[in-house]
Chain A
């Protein structure tokens, strides 16, 4: 697992139990909220989801918006980490 300690704060949202489009909209709204911090490498967003389709949709949307997205399996679901593009 990558070391994210270089980032400032970590914001985590738990959207387990939600599916698209709600899961996407919740994530996007959070990204929009803290986008300045993420872009300046001052924050990263962790998204916990248990919906496989959501991982693809969220990843693509975040990538199109110019962010790096890393995903790993965790506790029967997925942990996505959205951060500024390297």
Chain B
């Protein structure tokens, strides 16, 4: 091959090679542009864009391998994101669990807060309510919407305002105030007594709220008051029981002597009027003693079938003397008999009529109505009998408000300054002891009606009528003889004098032994006693309970009357069972004794004369 041919071939080859190099370079430029574009894109993502930095030159682009490096870094970013994501999920799950536990805890606390029977409240430093529990809202009758605008001082009864203000001031200075007792005023006006503790919530050492847990002790207070009343009553009972005997002996002497004096002075005249007043006062003293005795143990009434009409008329008239209140009576002809202790029962009528009188200070009229009454099966009254006599004592007075009606039979409950609070309590107690029931209906402004329900008696006609009692016939023929046994000389003396006044021949002895001796001697001497009047209790000697049995041994038909100042002694209530023919409670008047003798002596009129 010639040289020229070689040169020509080489040139061609060279040209071809140059062409290929150009092609490769062109491809490289495309590739570098691609790499630069992608690198710039990736660096942009890495927030390292060329704007704030230098661009990489081609050599660096190749040697630093940005795509490889960044891809590798991205892998780590993605891994990191994955693990962060996992951590977040775990955290979210944990947070949900904690939130659920917190919610559960909160619900449990709320449930505890709301299921508490105590009244729980939180107030801020101005006394405004922050929170109260359900028991609080229910007891006080306010909704939360109402409470949210109120302060604790809005629900305090006036009586507790001052005390609470001072407690609150001490609480705000973070002092321990110990147990507190306040009276709250519910929305409906009820007074609620609460006791409890108050403590404070502190933030940065400063008091921000006062938390209180109160217990409603209203019922306990009432109970305590009732207990105190009951204790008072018991003390009165004990006291009354203790003094009643002596007191009644004294009153027997007083009343007996007054009765005797009355017989000796002319009916018209100042002395008679004075004596009448003295007798009334003594009778009231007797009633008061009796009233107190009603509360002492065993104050069983001495019940006799009695004309209730007479007792009612007499007691009402007595209660209304000097009053400008008129009393109308309505009694049916066929009124069933009842067994009552006339003394106790007249006290009931007296108290009820006095109340009616006081309820009508300007005067007016009242009505006492008695009727035979059949209680319906579901009467709800605390009494067994259904056939009863119902006595309505109705006034047109001021009436009694509903909240007071509930308490009027409570001992010591009174609305009058001078009232003892015993009057209606005594009525209630007496009627209850008669196995009856006392109820009340009242409309404020219109008047009050008390209903006494007494079981009707199966006995026939009343054994005693007040009208039978007085007989002024002078004694004729052989005088009847009465043996008077009493350890109290003044009682014995007055009884003998009273009996002598109404025509009896008397002999007095100081105890049971002497009585038996006298009784036996009188029989032997052929002038036996027609009646023995015996004191039930003789301190240090034989009393009536024992003596009557001995007398009955001597004379089984002997007529022995028991007399005692202990009118609540069981012997007095059930004297027949102990062998006595009659009973008379001290103190008594001439007419009481005369009535009794008239009733128990065969053919007797109460005067000391034997029938012809």
Contacts and interface: CB of A to CB of B under 8 A. Distances in A.
B68 to A, nearest CB: 8
A19 B76 contact: no
Interface in B69-103: 69-70, 72-73, 76-77, 79-80, 83-84
Contact of B77 (A22, A26, A57, A65): A65
Interface string A47-65: 0000001000100110011
A86 to B, nearest CB: 13
Contact of B70 (A22, A28, A57): A28
B66 interface: yes
A28 B73 contact: yes
13 contacts: A20-B53, A21-B48, A22-B54, A24-B46, A25-B69, A29-B69, A31-B73, A32-B72, A57-B46, A61-B46, A61-B73, A66-B76, A66-B80
Interface of B: 39, 43, 46-48, 50, 52-54, 56, 60, 64-66, 69-70, 72-73, 76-77, 79-80, 83-84
A35 interface: yes
Given A57-B47, A61-B46, A25 B76 contact: no
A26 B65 CA distance: 10
B76 A65 contact: yes
Contact of A64 (B50, B53, B64, B77): B77
Given A22-B54, A57-B46, A66 B79 contact: yes
A25 B54 contact: no
A31 B70 CA distance: 11
Most buried by B among A26, A53, A61: A61
Top 5 closest A-B pairs, CB basis?
A66-B80, A20-B53, A65-B76, A32-B72, A25-B64
Contacts of A21: 39, 43, 46, 48, 50, 53-54, 56, 66
Given A24-B46, A25-B64, A29-B64, A35 B53 contact: no
Contact of A35 (B43, B46, B52, B76): B76
Interface string A11-36: 00000000111101110110110010
A24 B80 contact: no
B83 A66 contact: yes
A1 B101 CA distance: 43
A19 B79 CA distance: 27
B148 to A, nearest CB: 49
B83 A26 contact: no
Contacts of B65: 29
Given A24-B46, A25-B69, A28-B70, A64 B52 contact: no
Q: Which of A21, A24, A61 has the most CB of B within 10 A?
A: A21
A78 to B, nearest CB: 16
B70 A65 contact: no
B73 A20 contact: no
Contacts of B53: 19-21, 53
Contact of B80 (A25, A53, A64): A64
Contacts of B69: 25, 28-29, 32
Nearest to B50: A21
Contacts of B46: 21, 24, 57, 61
A40 to B, nearest CB: 14
Given A21-B39, A21-B66, A32-B72, 14 more contacts: A21-B56, A22-B56, A24-B43, A24-B46, A28-B70, A28-B72, A28-B73, A32-B69, A57-B47, A60-B47, A65-B77, A65-B80, A66-B77, A66-B80
A20 B76 CA distance: 20
Nearest to B52: A53
A57 B584 CA distance: 123
Contacts of B76: 31-32, 35, 65-66
A57 B80 CA distance: 18
Contacts of B72: 28, 32
